[in-house]
Amino acid sequence: MAKTNPARAKTSKVAARAERAAVSEEPVRKRARKTSTSRTSKLPKAVTGAVGAAQDKKASDLVVLDLRKAAGFTDYFIICTGHNSRQITAIADAVRETLKLEYGERPTLAEGLEKSEWILLDYFNFVVHIFSRECRAFYDLERLWGNAERIEIPSTDPPATS
């Protein structure tokens, strides 16, 4: 069985990419930037798990703030909105359960569970914020951490049909 030269394989992949780019109608530099869904694959698994759990409970306006370059006390903020106190509690419960069962993660701090207007789950490397619509508008964490990279998470709800 013949062995392939790794350097030759790498150059052939680069050549194939260059050939595809040359055939393409628009130059490579004008192509669209990566979408938020491709960026979510670069997030840590536990963060992706928390995002998925929130999506399963129909959290709205889901955003991940990458605070690593913003000199924050944590690496990521996951921010989402619930429409009522029951949904906010359900989102928090789903995130806690998913991270505990699938990743062995437990929050070092959980606050706001009693009022269910703003629930904070601190997992040390990332913090999950689940807001009511009014609380989210009031505290506006996205503005406070405006220098952080913002990763929009698309809604999983199907588009409304008339």
| Residue ranges of domains in the chain | 36-152
For the cut 60, the answer to whether the pLDDT of residue 30 exceeds it is no
Residue 33 pLDDT more than 70?
A: no
**What pLDDT sits at residue 25?**
38
What is the C-alpha radius of gyration for the chain, rounded to an integer number of angstroms? 20
User: What's the number of CA atoms in the CB half-sphere (13 Å) around residue 32?
Assistant: 4
Check pLDDT > 50 for residue 76.
yes
Residue 21 pLDDT class (50, 70, 90 cuts):
very low
Q: What is the mean pLDDT of the chain?
A: 79
Average pLDDT over residues 74-103: 96
Q: Output the 3-class SS for the chain.
A: CCCCCHHHHHHHHHHHHHHHHHHCCCCHHHCCCCCHHHHHCCCCHHHHHHHHHHHHCCCEEEEEEECCCCCCCCCEEEEEEECCHHHHHHHHHHHHHHHHHHHCCCCCEEECCCCCCEEEEECCCEEEEEEEHHHHHHHCHHHHCCCCEEEECCCCCCCCCC
pLDDT band for 116, please (50, 70, 90 cuts): confident
User: Does the model's pTM come out above 0.75?
Assistant: no
Please state which CATH class domain 36-152 belongs to: alpha beta
Q: According to the model, what pLDDT value does residue 71 have? A: 75
